[in-house]
């Protein structure tokens, strides 16, 4: 975590600095608001500002908002200065820390600010295979395209990749391409020089330079204007950027992770996304399944969110009742993990006993959650399929079942050995050895692009 301390307060902030560093924070200092803004523009960045309450916090927050810098501000002041504390909170400070500093209070503030919901909770095999692939490619420098419906956890898996990479000690910077007006996005990404356009009062470092040495996540990349995509392509290929209004290229060392909830192949066909950029980004595709296709994760995630929000609301954690489990499993979760999280937050607030019952699993307006369309039919079909599989496997050897699984998976992948090995969770060498064995036994093994003739 990067902490920027602004002001002096007669040396009291020096003690706060030591406490923060003991808690693992990387700390830098600025003597006043202007110096702090210079640090933020320079690309050194900060995850939290701890500011002397005697500084003009309102002015600082105004400057941050005007320059679209996103960083929380905490005010610090002497215990007796209650009036200044109230003014700081009214101005927009997230918290007020009285000085001399209490180590536990500073630790709590740091923990609250740096909480990024980065827990990767999963149990379902569909999600486990994605996580396994993410772990395999994390140490590489390959660009990654993370796809999936809204709310499936694209930023969570992106942060997971960063933490597992050799860049873990460097910044993870994210920018939502859909949330920033088109005419401002270029400056946000690449920065600008003083006077480059109206309102550019000083040089500003963009997200590419801020992420130097680390990872840059381009969220909802499909929403980027196609003209800006050309500049992005050059930055990825040549690892240099041009600030708006700049006269010389700036080298950058970053890893790119892009996310999208749209089909970029269709966007290419529609002419709204560059095909060459898609190839650059899509070296590896982490495709997150929607929650309805990973039912094994629903209860695991629900219990995790119950624990999180019970703690946040200062109540005892309650267990999930059987009727609540049935309701959760019956829903199709069109909003995916994000919808489930909000539902469990409500359940914590609505539950009246030691157990979360079905009556606490409700919509935002308080109405009961209805089972997803076709749930009973789907559940019945799943039960019948499970029974059929069990019947078919009874009386067969493990070797026979393994052989059919491998060959059916190969069919599913149109003979592609690499894809089949990933799905099966075995090495490509093991798969080839098995296929050679089957061929020697006289069993037809399809070549890439072929299917077996089923009878």
pLDDT (0 to 100) of residue 396: 73
- Whole-number Cα distances in Å, 167 to 71, 77, 95, 420: 22, 36, 31, 30
Q: Give how far Cα 428 sits from Cα of 59, 402, 422, Å.
A: 60, 16, 8
| Whether the model pTM is above 0.85 | no
**What is the pLDDT tens value at each position of the chain, 455 positions in all?**
678 888 876 666 777 777 777 766 778 888 888 888 888 877 666 778 888 888 888 888 888 877 767 778 888 887 666 777 788 888 888 778 887 767 777 777 766 655 544 568 888 888 989 999 999 999 999 999 999 999 999 999 999 999 899 998 888 999 999 888 877 898 889 988 887 777 677 778 889 999 999 999 999 999 999 989 999 999 999 999 988 888 788 999 999 999 999 999 999 999 999 999 999 999 999 999 999 999 989 998 999 899 888 887 788 888 898 999 999 998 999 999 999 999 999 999 888 777 899 989 988 877 877 665 544 444 444 444 444 444 455 667 888 888 888 888 887 766 778 777 877 878 888 888 899 898 888 888 877 766 665 54
> What pLDDT does residue 102 have?
73
Helix (H/G/I), strand (E/B), else coil: 280:
helix
d(CA 258, CA 386): 38
**Residue 387: helix, strand or coil by DSSP?**
helix
| CB 282 within 8 Å of CB 236 | no
H or E segment at 412?
helix 398-412
Instruction: Supply the pLDDT for residue 257.
Output: 97
Q: What is the dihedral of CA 186, 190, 194, 196, to 10 degrees?
A: -30
Q: Is the dihedral of CA 234, 236, 239, 240 positive or negative?
A: positive
Summarised one tens digit per residue, pLDDT across range 198-224 is 767 777 888 999 999 999 999 999 999
- Other residues' Cβ atoms within 10 Å of the Cβ of residue 441: 8
Per-residue buried b or exposed e for 337-376, using 16+ beta carbons within 10 Å of the residue's own CB? bebbbbbbbbbbeebeeeebbbebbbeeeeeebeeeeeee
What domains sit in the chain, N to C, each tagged with a CATH number?
2-114 (3.40.50.2300), 125-287 (3.40.50.300), 295-360 (1.10.8.60), 395-440 (1.10.10.60)
């Amino acid at each position: 975590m990067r902490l920027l301390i602004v002001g002096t307060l007669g040396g009291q902030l020096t003690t706060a600095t030591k406490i923060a560093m003991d808690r693992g924070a990387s700390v830098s200092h600025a003597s006043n608001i202007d110096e702090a803004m210079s640090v933020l523009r320079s690309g050194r960045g900060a995850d939290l500002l701890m500011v002397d309450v005697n500084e003009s916090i309102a002015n600082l927050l105004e400057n941050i908002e005007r320059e679209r810098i996103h960083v929380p501000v905490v005010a610090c002041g002497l215990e007796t200065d209650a009036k200044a504390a109230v003014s700081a909170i009214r101005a927009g400070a997230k918290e007020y820390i009285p000085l001399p500093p209490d180590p536990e209070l500073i630790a709590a503030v740091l923990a609250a600010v740096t909480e990024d919901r980065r827990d990767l909770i999963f149990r379902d095999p569909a999600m486990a295979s994605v996580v396994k692939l993410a772990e395999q490619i994390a140490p590489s420098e390959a660009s990654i395209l993370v796809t999936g419906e809204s709310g499936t956890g694209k930023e969570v898996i992106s942060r997971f990749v960063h933490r597992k990479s050799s860049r873990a000690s460097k910044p993870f910077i994210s920018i939502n391409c859909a949330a920033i007006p088109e005419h401002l996005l270029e400056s946000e990404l690449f920065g600008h020089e003083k006077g480059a356009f109206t309102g550019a009062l000083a040089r500003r470092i963009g997200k590419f330079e801020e992420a130097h040495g680390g990872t840059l996540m381009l969220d909802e990349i499909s929403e980027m204007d196609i003209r800006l995509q050309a500049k992005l392509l050059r930055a990825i290929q040549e690892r240099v950027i041009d600030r708006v209004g700049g006269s010389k290229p700036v080298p950058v060392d970053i890893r790119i992770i892009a996310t999208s909830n749209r089909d970029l192949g269709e966007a290419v066909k529609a002419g709204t996304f560059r095909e060459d950029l898609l190839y650059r980004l899509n070296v590896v595709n982490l495709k997150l399944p929607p929650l309805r296709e990973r039912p094994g994760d629903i209860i695991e995630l629900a219990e995790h969110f119950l624990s999180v929000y019970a703690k946040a609301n200062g109540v005892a954690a309650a267990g999930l009742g059987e009727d609540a489990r049935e309701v959760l499993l019956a829903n199709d979760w069109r909003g995916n993990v994000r919808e489930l999280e909000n539902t469990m937050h409500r359940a914590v607030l609505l539950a009246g006993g030691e157990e979360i019952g079905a009556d606490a699993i409700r919509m935002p307006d308080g109405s009961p959650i209805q089972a997803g369309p076709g749930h009973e039919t789907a559940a019945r079909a799943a039960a019948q399929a499970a029974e059929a599989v069990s019947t078919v496997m009874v009386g067969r050897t493990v070797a026979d079942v393994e052989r059919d699984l491998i060959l059916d998976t190969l069919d599913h992948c149109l003979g592609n050995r690499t894809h089949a090995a990933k799905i099966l969770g075995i090495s490509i060498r093991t798969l080839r050895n098995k296929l050679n064995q089957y061929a020697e036994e006289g069993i037809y093994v399809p070549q890439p692009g072929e299917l077996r003739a089923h009878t």
